[in-house]
Each structure stands twice: as structure tokens, then as C-alpha cells.
Homo-oligomer: A and B are copies of this chain.
Amino acid sequence: MKSAAKAQQAEDSADTGAQQIRDAIREAIVERRLSPGTKLSESDVGNLFNVSRTLARAALQALSYEGLVSVEKNRGAFVAYPSPEEARQIFSARRLVEPGILREAAAQITPDDIAHLRQLLLEEGRLMSERGQTARRAEIKASGDFHLTLALISGNSIMQRFMEELVARSSLVIALYGQSTASSCGHSEHGDIISAIEANELDRACQLMLHHIAHIEADLDLRERKSLGLKEAFEL
């Protein structure tokens, strides 16, 4: 299977066309096929997807609202290059909201949900053992899906959307500053969290979640790089 839902959801909001392009580019960014700092010219995007600059522009705009793309006036759009400070804020935000989301999710979780989570976990573990960049990419996504699914279960679509943004941006941060080969989350920690939820030990589950996020962040090297202008020169 490709990658879960193919973007068949609500066909009744926003621009039809730009949506698909946005999703495609976002997926490419999250899966790290597009590196931070890469220039995304409107013409190129348009040609790539066989649409006019109008739609390409709309897609890039949308991505900039999500923080995945930064557009500079009269200069164009680039895959976001989050600063260390920005990275800290992203994880700070996750520490702030994820325990709350977890509690809400636990409050109305069903056996089906738990089965779903364990299913994700299994998939994640399978991908971890595999070699190759494709598996690595899928693993990144699967790892994020755990956090996203929790938000889904919580039933609050606003928090769900916010978490989608945070997870996507986290992927960018990890791509930039991650050190360990273990590309993303500690896999076992996800399982521990599910178990704690199942055992109805909410406080412990939240603690585990906080540690989990801390572990991800601990794997980052957030030292300030020299000048940003210089840096970009190398990225291009």
C-alpha cells in the first residue's frame, strides 16, 4: 500500500487543485525527499504538476501557513529551514499539548482504537528492521502517525490539525539537527505509552509521553550555526 489515505477526504473545501499539490509537496518534505532550504519556484512547481503558477503559488502559500515552507517577498518559496530556536519552540509546544491530547484521547478511547494503535506499532517495528531509504522514510511517517492517531482519537479536530503541523515541522527539525542513526522516535516508548493507557495509568502515560518527546529532542544538536546567509549559500 502507498501511504494510507490517498487524499480522498472532503472534496468540498478549498481549491480542489492546489490541495493535491500541497499534499504532495508536504509529503515530500516530511519524508525528507526535499531538503530544508531547497528553493521551490512557482514555475517549477507548476510545471512539475502540470498546472499554472496560480495553483502552484496557492499550494506554496498554504504550506507557508503550516510552517513547512517559508516565502520571502519577491524572492520565492523555500523548504523551511527552522532555526534552533524555532526547533526548541516546536518541541516545547509538543510537550505542552501532547500530554493534554493524550488525556483526552484516553478519556474516550475504544478497544478498536487500541487495536489500531498496536497495528501502527507493529508496522513501525517492521519498518525499523528493514534497510534502505524507502523504509526509513516510511518509518519516519509511521512514527509520526502514532502521535497523530492519538490526536485523532481525542476527537478534537482542532488539536488534530495542530498536531499535524507540529509533527510535520518536527520532521524537518530532525532532518536538520538529528544526530543518531535511529531516525525518529524510540519505538518501544510508543508501546509503553499504549500500555500505560490501557492500564488506565494516565499520569504515568503522560510522564512517558514527556520523556518520549524529551528523548527525541535530546537527539538533536541545536547549536547555533554561524551566519544564516552563509548557510543558505551552501544549501543552494
Q: Which residues of B contact A71 (CB under 8 A)?
A: 13-15
Q: Report the Cα distance A86→B158, complex, angstroms.
A: 8
Q: Report the Cα distance A97→B64, complex, angstroms.
A: 23
Q: Does the CB pair A61–B97 fall under 8 Å? A: no
Instruction: Say yes or no for A156: interface residue by CB 8 A criterion.
Output: yes
Given contacts A62-B61, A65-B65, whether A96 and B11 have CB atoms under 8 Å apart is no
Segment at the B interface, from A34-42, A87-95, A217-225: A87-95
Given contacts A62-B61, A65-B62, whether A93 and B13 have CB atoms under 8 Å apart is no
Q: Does the CB pair A93–B61 fall under 8 Å? A: no
CB-contact partner of A90 in B64, B93, B104, B158, under 8 A: B158
Instruction: Say yes or no for A174: interface residue by CB 8 A criterion.
Output: no
**In the assembled complex, how far is the CB of residue A180 from the closest CB belonging to chain B, in whole angstroms?**
25
CB-contact partner of A72 in B13, B92, B97, under 8 A: B13
Instruction: Say yes or no for A195: interface residue by CB 8 A criterion.
Output: no
Q: Report the Cα distance A72→B10, complex, angstroms.
A: 11
Q: Which residues of B contact A93 (CB under 8 A)?
A: 156, 158-159, 162
**Known interface pairs A13-B73, A62-B65, A89-B159; 6 further A-B residue pairs with C-beta atoms within 8 A, sorted by A's residue number:** A15-B71, A16-B73, A67-B158, A93-B159, A96-B97, A162-B162
